[in-house]
Homo-oligomer: A and B are copies of this chain.
Amino acid sequence: MNTPVGVIVGVGEGNGAALARAFAQTGMTMALLARQSGLTEELAATLPGARAYACDVADSASVKETFARLRSELGDPTTVVYNAGSGVWGDVESISLEAFETSWRVNAYGALAVSREVIPAMKAAGSGNIIFIGATASRRGGPKTAAFAPAKAAQRSLAESMARSLWPAGIHVSLIIVDAVVDLPRTRRGMPDKPDSFFLKPDDMAASAVWLAQQPRSAWTFEIEVRPFGEKW
């Protein structure tokens, strides 16, 4: 229980797995959270001391219970990366109220539920990292992001509110805006004509997350965006 504990919330095959590997390499014991624990079990087996937890971030009881277990098994987290963030595509006429709510619940409500579980110990320690993985949609509502953009905007606003109240207590709250198509077998199959320079590599994104977590506190950054060099923006 003496190594620092890192938590990745929302571990899929792309950014989530890369974040888990990157923070594990800094010597952290990792807790890997996902709705189903198939992939996370496999990944945990490759990272020293890591454990997988099934958790539905949209359900505050599930969050509460998962973190209670996690704390008792691994100790208080020192770094949490909130990577949960599915989204439905569609304009205001085609999305349902349910999709609008689910999007918000996964991106914003869950972000608060998770944060509340880890803030008290971080505050007592006078240090800690809470990193949100955001999206360009957080800055602007597009015609087809009537459900996703408001959810990400709420998440970004919450992150900023948290940064401004928690930084003075030594907790580095930050936000990484991913403005890219992630390089995955699935996305490559779907866009076979795009060049390498079009895709963001999860490991490269994760390197920026680790850097944020290690910034000296006289010069902290709240928000960065990451984007492939060949991308139009």
Residues of A participating in the B interface, judged by any CB pair closer than 8 Å: 60, 91-93, 97, 100-101, 104, 108-109, 112-113, 115-116, 119, 137-138, 140-146, 149-168, 170, 172, 180, 183, 197, 199-201, 203-205, 207-208, 211, 215-233
Contacts and interface: CB of A to CB of B under 8 A. Distances in A.
A8 B224 CA distance: 23
Contact of A165 (B91, B97, B217): B91
Contact of A91 (B93, B161, B204, B219): B161
Q: Report the copy number of this chain in the oligomer.
A: 4
A143 B211 CA distance: 25
A166 B153 CA distance: 20
Contact of A160 (B141, B162, B167): B141
Contacts of A165: 91-93, 143-144, 146
A86 to B, nearest CB: 16
A42 B140 CA distance: 40
Contact of A150 (B108, B140, B142, B163): B108
A163 B230 CA distance: 11
B219 A226 contact: yes
A159 B205 CA distance: 22
Given A153-B157, A219-B226, A226-B221, A109 B113 contact: no
Tell me which of A154, A204, A221, A231 has the highest count of chain B C-beta atoms within 10 A of its own C-beta: A154
A93 to B, nearest CB: 6
Contact of A161 (B119, B149, B159, B162): B149
A222 B218 CA distance: 21
Contacts of A152: 157
Contacts of A137: 157
Given A157-B149, A227-B222, A112 B100 contact: yes
A228 B220 CA distance: 6
Contact of A221 (B100, B168, B183, B224): B224
A223 B225 contact: yes
Between A153, A204, A226, A232, the greatest number of chain B beta carbons within 10 A of the residue's beta carbon is seen for A153
